[in-house]
Chain A
Amino acid sequence: MIPPPVTSPATSPATPSSPSSPPVAELGRGMPGWVIRIVSLVLGIGAVFLVYPDISVPLLAIVLLVVAVVSAAAPASPAPAVLIAAVAIVLVLTGGSPVRLEVLVAIPLLHLLHATASISALAPARSVIRPAALVRPAWRFLGVQAGVFAVVGITEILPTGQNTTIVEIIGLIGVTALVLVTIRLVTREK
């Protein structure tokens, strides 16, 4: 006579892990992927409103708003690049002090827009992002911003007016080196 059938759900035992095995990350709750797109949208709209007083043609502001929406909806498209470049060009063409409030706000804003667009291009809207995944990009963002604002501080220390030749040369060499290093890093073999 065989025993009665078992109908209760059974749980198969977990695979035992050895003491030297790496820690197991339990998948569970996390940040929805659409949150980072919302952040990207808010940053894009914020950037447009930052330069809105300097835009003489209202149609351009509307176009930039549309580009901001597109960059949040399709972060892997050229829209974020267009938005960042357009806002930067408007700020440059407006003139004025390079360390005025709009520029100081735009520096982290555009950088953060670039970073959030990069990550949201990776994560679908219905994905789940573990907060730990954003730690290293966040530290990199803070480090870069600290460096850039250090440069801003140095420019404040430097005397205004006609720059000396040595400062011009140092700046040119620094920028050329940065560009060359970047090109070398891009073209090296993976």
Chain B
Amino acid sequence: MSLSRQRYRKWQERRTAAASRQWRGTDALRRGLVVGVGLVVAGVVLHELTAVLLGAPLLVSTALSLSVRLHGKPSVRVRPLPRTAETGQRARMLVDVDPGPGAELVAVRLPRPNKPGIGPVYVVPASEVTLATNLRWDAWGDQSDFRVDHLVAGPDALWTYGPVLGDEGRRAVLPPVLPMPGGPVPPRTAGLVGAHRSRRPGDGIELRDVRAYQPGDRLRRVDWRTTLRASAGAATDSLDTLFVRERHAEADADVVLAVDTRLDVGAELGDWSTGEDGTTVRQGGSLDRAALAATALAAGYLHQGDRVSLVDLGRPQFGLRSGAGRRHLMVFRHRLLACVRAAGWVSRPVLRAEQVPHGALVIVLSPFLDDAVVEQTLLAARRGSLVLGVDVLPRPLIPDPNDRWGGVVARMIAAEQANRLGALRARGVPVVPWVDGSEVVAVLRRAAAPGRRPVVLR
């Protein structure tokens, strides 16, 4: 488009916007005036009462409507709503309409009660100054839930103010926290403090053993009752041996959830190259499944008191440092939303060593559709971490019906992905498909069983 045409278009848009912000006569006004006056005048001049009787209603109703004085600038204001929402949450939306004196009708675009989308135009009397509807957010992600376009009309819609393009209501709907059906996720303890019992002795609460005193033991650890009982059987009155109570150490588990945000693909191959309107994430797609799985795992581990961090394989700057607690879960979900917002293809996924705390459990959530993510997963495993791959590719893949090679393409993609998953398994990285989380828990439970090499409880 040439520069002059762009300027003309902008000028025209500005002119249209300016014109919509003032009272304007409509076609109905012109019709009432031209036809009404024309018929009445012609009837009088030609002595045709029929013309006068047919034109009079239009002229009189137009005159009556015009007798109402319209002035002021109508406005529509939405009362504040929360900036973030939970999936499935509902909220009451109140809209204050100030149509100005003389207005009779207000046409305003509002969402249907409890239905997604910006909704239809409601034509309401101007006397109703506060309109209410219910918002409901069924899908998570950044989304636009209303845009209050409005138009105010005088009597018989002879004059209108607008249409005015309303402000858009955007909301960040957090990914839902799905419960893990397989029960609590097994921790992989590391460090010196935390919520889990470690195998090694330490300063925890749980009793590990009662043993003889050794140099270095604290005196407050001495178990006087056991010591006295043991010395009661001795021949002398002196305390030969002191006994101390040894306790288990407590440790926490570090979990790194690495989400592959570079791809968002659904089951239908024909839709892979197109986006989805209205939301930032494809419903039921790989990114949706990865985010839901990450949130469920994070909630499960944080519920146990473990430390969870987030790694965005596509954009490492969006990662979240390790943390624990309820607040961290909220931060995690917000950060995940930010990752999804900025999601897009990059050729090289990043999972650096400094992003993974020593001894952490690394869970890679990806559709595993390229070799680069497999390399990064294996690299993380080689660094000594326990790595679990979660395949979030929706299944079964549906071939593109408009492509004669659709079936072949689908089979090739599935075969290539199966090869990649096979390569991961062959190198000791378990990979499970994400269904509802139970399969992930089962694998982690097996890996956490005593005697299994990958999980080392210190």
Contact with B along A68-108 (1 / 0, CB 8 A): 00000001111011001100100110000010000100111
Give A186 to B68 CA distance when docked, in angstroms: 11
Determine if B130 and A121 form an interchain contact, defined as CB atoms under 8 angstroms apart: no
Determine if B61 and A175 form an interchain contact, defined as CB atoms under 8 angstroms apart: no
For B161, give the chain A residue with the smallest CB separation.
Answer: A190
Return the contact of B53 from the options A98, A133, A175, A181 (Cβ within 8 A).
A98
Determine if B120 and A12 form an interchain contact, defined as CB atoms under 8 angstroms apart: no
Interface residues of A in 89-140 (CB under 8 A from B): 91-92, 98, 103, 106-108, 110-111, 114-115, 117-119, 121-124, 126-130, 132-133, 135-137, 140
Assuming A76-B27, A111-B57, is B123 touching A11 (CB within 8 A)?
Answer: no
Smallest distance from the beta carbon of A26 to chain B beta carbons, Å?
5
Q: Is A25 an interface residue (CB 8 A)?
A: yes
Residues of A within 8 A of B176 (CB): 7
Q: Is B178 an interface residue (CB 8 A)?
A: yes
Return the contact of A12 from the options B55, B82, B121, B151 (Cβ within 8 A).
B82
Return the contact of A25 from the options B82, B88, B132, B160 (Cβ within 8 A).
B132
Residues of A within 8 A of B326 (CB): 2-3
Query: Which size bracket describes the interface of A in this complex?
Result: 35 or more
Assuming A185-B66, A185-B67, is B123 touching A123 (CB within 8 A)?
Answer: yes
Determine if B28 and A117 form an interchain contact, defined as CB atoms under 8 angstroms apart: yes
Give A44 to B230 CA distance when docked, in angstroms: 111
Q: Is B89 an interface residue (CB 8 A)?
A: yes
Determine if A10 and B39 form an interchain contact, defined as CB atoms under 8 angstroms apart: no
Determine if B89 and A98 form an interchain contact, defined as CB atoms under 8 angstroms apart: no
For B43, give the chain A residue with the smallest CB separation.
Answer: A92
Q: Is B380 an interface residue (CB 8 A)?
A: no
Residues of A within 8 A of B61 (CB): 111, 114-115, 140-141, 144
Determine if B60 and A132 form an interchain contact, defined as CB atoms under 8 angstroms apart: no
Determine if B195 and A151 form an interchain contact, defined as CB atoms under 8 angstroms apart: no
Q: Is B305 an interface residue (CB 8 A)?
A: yes
Q: Is B189 an interface residue (CB 8 A)?
A: no
Determine if A114 and B53 form an interchain contact, defined as CB atoms under 8 angstroms apart: no
Q: Is A24 an interface residue (CB 8 A)?
A: yes
Return the contact of A181 from the options B55, B63, B120 (Cβ within 8 A).
B63
Q: Is B265 an interface residue (CB 8 A)?
A: no
Determine if B120 and A128 form an interchain contact, defined as CB atoms under 8 angstroms apart: yes
Determine if A5 and B120 form an interchain contact, defined as CB atoms under 8 angstroms apart: no
Q: Is B74 an interface residue (CB 8 A)?
A: no
Query: Which size bracket describes the interface of B in this complex?
Result: 35 or more
Assuming A85-B39, A118-B26, A123-B123, is B60 touching A178 (CB within 8 A)?
Answer: yes
Contact with A along B51-79 (1 / 0, CB 8 A): 11111111111111111001100000001
Determine if A122 and B54 form an interchain contact, defined as CB atoms under 8 angstroms apart: no
Determine if B60 and A147 form an interchain contact, defined as CB atoms under 8 angstroms apart: yes
Return the contact of A151 from the options B23, B53, B62 (Cβ within 8 A).
B53
Determine if B29 and A186 form an interchain contact, defined as CB atoms under 8 angstroms apart: yes
Q: Is A62 an interface residue (CB 8 A)?
A: no
Contact with B along A37-63 (1 / 0, CB 8 A): 000000000000000000000000000
Contact with A along B184-214 (1 / 0, CB 8 A): 0000000000010000000000000000000
Of B90-98, B368-376, B427-435, B450-458, which stretch is located at the interface?
B90-98
Give A131 to B448 CA distance when docked, in angstroms: 66
Contact with A along B155-166 (1 / 0, CB 8 A): 111111000000
Determine if A190 and B71 form an interchain contact, defined as CB atoms under 8 angstroms apart: yes
Give A140 to B67 CA distance when docked, in angstroms: 13
Determine if B131 and A25 form an interchain contact, defined as CB atoms under 8 angstroms apart: yes
Determine if B35 and A85 form an interchain contact, defined as CB atoms under 8 angstroms apart: yes
Determine if B123 and A172 form an interchain contact, defined as CB atoms under 8 angstroms apart: no
Smallest distance from the beta carbon of A98 to chain B beta carbons, Å?
4
Give A130 to B50 CA distance when docked, in angstroms: 36
Give A15 to B78 CA distance when docked, in angstroms: 12
Assuming A5-B329, A26-B132, A27-B113, is B124 touching A10 (CB within 8 A)?
Answer: no
Interface residues of A in 138-156 (CB under 8 A from B): 140-141, 143-145, 147-148, 151-152, 155
Return the contact of B90 from the options A9, A17, A98, A155 (Cβ within 8 A).
A9
Give A127 to B123 CA distance when docked, in angstroms: 7
Determine if B50 and A91 form an interchain contact, defined as CB atoms under 8 angstroms apart: yes
Given contacts A8-B88, A121-B157, 18 further A-B contacts (CB under 8 A): A12-B89, A26-B132, A27-B122, A84-B58, A85-B38, A88-B39, A88-B55, A106-B54, A115-B61, A119-B105, A122-B123, A132-B124, A136-B104, A140-B155, A148-B56, A155-B49, A175-B52, A182-B59
Contacts A/B (CB < 8 Å), 6 sampled: A81-B34, A128-B122, A147-B60, A151-B56, A175-B40, A186-B33
Chain B residues within 8 Å of A, Cβ to Cβ: 22-23, 25-44, 48-67, 70-71, 79, 82, 86-92, 94, 104-105, 107, 110, 112-113, 120-125, 127-133, 151, 153, 155-160, 176-179, 195, 299, 302-305, 325-326, 329
Name the 3 nearest CB pairs between A and B, nearest first.
Answer: A9-B88, A185-B66, A118-B28
